[in-house]
Amino acid sequence: MSTIKFFDQVNQNFDKAAAYTKHDKGILSQIKICNSVYHITFPVKRDDGSITTVNAWRAEHSQHKLPVKGGIRYAPSVNEDEVMALSALMTYKCAIVDVPFGGAKGGIRINKNDFSESELERITRRYTFELIKKNFIGPGIDVPAPDYGTGAREMSWIADTYNSMTDSNINAFACVTGKPIPQGGVRGRTEATGRGTFFGIREACDIADDMKRLGLKPGLDGKRVVVQGLGNVGYYAAKFLQQGGAVIVGIAEYEGAIYAPKGLDVDAVAKHRREKGSILDFPGAKNLAKNSEALELDCDILVPAALENQITMDNAGRIKARIIAEAANGPVTADASEALLAAGKIIIPDMYLNAGGVTVSYFEWLKNLSHVRFGRMNKRFEEDVNTRLLRTVEEMTGKKLPKALFDTIVHGPDEEDLVNSGLEETMISSYRQIREVKHQHNDAISLRTAAFISAINKVALAYKELGIFP
Ligand code: NAD
């Protein structure tokens, strides 16, 4: 386990990239620093009448663009350093995918499995109330989202609490993203981070030169994948990778790991876990004694999608995967990254690869501010244009298209189509941008350093536009 603090590790990576830029020292230190951290402790009444004290944080790393944005995590390991580090990654992530937000992150130090639903609701509402009191939440201030241990349910409690405290604000529901659809959520947000992870991996695998260097064929087809964490990000990433032609040979969860060289069906494993309470003993798969063993399995792509500090100097030398796709935030420590790169592997960095969540959160925020569902204005119009066009072609050629094909071509985009298409475009163009920066440095830098350079340049430009720095 690395002894270097998480935020220091992020800053080590930052410094390495900053050395390739020409920005003034002052602006670099302003970009790097975490602007504000709020630590709250509050009492919660348990269902049995006892009182427990809860520690929670919200860090706002950079207000160069407003609102600031970042998830809220519920985990026993949450601490101030972690929240600050994750908020910094959010700043760089938003810059990389050109989402106009500053970075933030929140966390509550609890194991969600130790609390009932009503206790979790009380904790979430109280946390939101504390954020409102200190101006740490609001559609133009700070907009949280789901992260490890939270989802649409928690976001709906936050939205409802904020809305009930600020009833004259017609944009109140834009105070948080990742909400259920009836509360202003956007279709495709739940799957967004996993889907974005898939698009990012697919794009990386499509670059023939890079694959050749790894001794792999271009394309996703047949690539052997191991996924750590079958939660929101890991499940959807695994599912889309499988649909895209990859073979999921290993899955690790909290309770253990399973391995099947011929491939695992992701939905069947998820169903098995729901029914049996564990991924272990999945028919046709081999159980691994320790879940961390899955990281060292023979595969082409390793997708850590659980928590930070999973690949350290302790196990980096035993990682067999040639591509490490960081779906989680900070799964590879800075020193382990160096070791993996020295061994000729490719690391697709977290601040790019898991940016699908914040990208679709951006779409949700825009939907909430515009008060109109994506596709509402243009879907039928486009269908009418397409229908007229096809009918004209049919009349001119004297041939009729089969109905199913006709309907597919005519189909106008609905909200989910537009969201997924916007996400795909973002993940592809951002990967190409990072790859181009790497190329400009004669491929002598990593994708992570290239991503940092790109982010630093964009944030520095934003500060200059604000007139704060010359
Ligand atoms: P989640 O709570 O939905 O799922 C995480 C899963 O990992 C859980 O099922 C948990 O049991 C499992 N897990 C924990 N420790 C493990 C271990 N040692 N080995 C194997 N499995 C383990 O969380 P999530 O939302 O999927 O987040 C996962 C990671 O992705 C985090 O680093 C988070 O910051 C990052 N992330 C999430 C989002 C999002 O939209 N949810 C966006 C960007 C980044």
Annotated active-site residue 105? The verdict is: yes
Residues 170 and 191 in one domain: no
Residues 172 and 193 in one domain: no
Residues 119 and 237 in one domain: no
At 325, phi and psi to the nearest 5? -105, 105
CA–CA distance, 109 with 73 (Å, rounded to integer): 8
90, 97, 307, 361: which to mutate for ligand 1, most atoms within 8 A of CB? Answer: 307
CA–CA distance, 196 with 438 (Å, rounded to integer): 21
CA–CA distance, 204 with 220 (Å, rounded to integer): 9
- Around ligand 1, the residues with Cβ closer than 6 Å are 71, 146-149, 193, 228-234, 252-254, 291, 305-307, 327-329, 354, 357
Closest atom of ligand 1 to 361 CA is: 40
Could you tell me which of 331, 359, 418, 432 has the C-alpha nearest to residue 193? 359
* Nearest CA residue ID for atom 41, ligand 1: 147
Tell me the mean pLDDT in the region 372-379.
95
Q: Is residue 2 part of a domain?
A: no
Residues 63 and 51 in one domain: yes
CA–CA distance, 461 with 394 (Å, rounded to integer): 53
Closest atom of ligand 1 to 228 CA is: 20
6, 93, 111, 147: which to mutate for ligand 1, most atoms within 8 A of CB? Answer: 147
Q: Is residue 46 part of a domain?
A: yes
| pLDDT-derived band at 467, boundaries 50, 70, 90 | confident
- Domain ends where: 167, 183, 199? 183
Residues 57 and 147 in one domain: yes
> What mean pLDDT, rounded, does the chain reach?
96
pLDDT of 2: 57
Distance 466 CA to ligand 1 centre (A): 36
Q: Is residue 191 part of a domain?
A: yes
Residues 240 and 111 in one domain: no
Residues 79 and 214 in one domain: no
Q: Is residue 14 part of a domain?
A: no
Q: Is residue 393 part of a domain?
A: no
200 has a pLDDT exceeding 70: yes
Closest atom of ligand 1 to 234 CA is: 26
- Write the DSSP string, 99-136: ---EEEEEEE---GGGS-HHHHHHHHHHHHHHHHHTT-
Domain span including residue 54: 36-183
Would you tell me how many other CB atoms lie within 10 Å of the CB of residue 113? 9
Q: Which of 65, 105, 239, 367 is catalytic?
A: 105
Tell me the mean pLDDT in the region 32-38.
97
- For helices 117-133 and 152-165, what crossing angle results, to 10°? 50
Domain of 88, CATH number, reads 3.40.50.10860
Tell me the mean pLDDT in the region 121-148.
97
- Domain ends where: 183, 208, 223? 183
CA–CA distance, 362 with 322 (Å, rounded to integer): 32
* Nearest CA residue ID for atom 30, ligand 1: 328
CA–CA distance, 362 with 100 (Å, rounded to integer): 8
Domain of 194, CATH number, reads 3.40.50.720
Q: Is residue 248 part of a domain?
A: yes
* Nearest CA residue ID for atom 20, ligand 1: 253
CA–CA distance, 265 with 261 (Å, rounded to integer): 12
User: 319 exposed, middle or buried (CB, 10 Å; 0-12, 13-18, 19+)?
Assistant: buried
Look at the chain and report how many structural domains it folds into.
Answer: 2
For 89-129, write each residue's pLDDT tens digit: 999 999 999 999 999 999 999 999 999 999 999 999 999 99
Residues 237 and 277 in one domain: yes
Q: Is residue 98 part of a domain?
A: yes
Residues 232 and 260 in one domain: yes
- Domain ends where: 138, 160, 183? 183
Residues 200 and 65 in one domain: no
228, 232, 278: which to mutate for ligand 1, most atoms within 8 A of CB? Answer: 232
| pLDDT-derived band at 3, boundaries 50, 70, 90 | confident
Residues 54 and 76 in one domain: yes
Q: Is residue 4 part of a domain?
A: no
Residues 252 and 312 in one domain: yes
Residue 404, both tokens? 């199913």
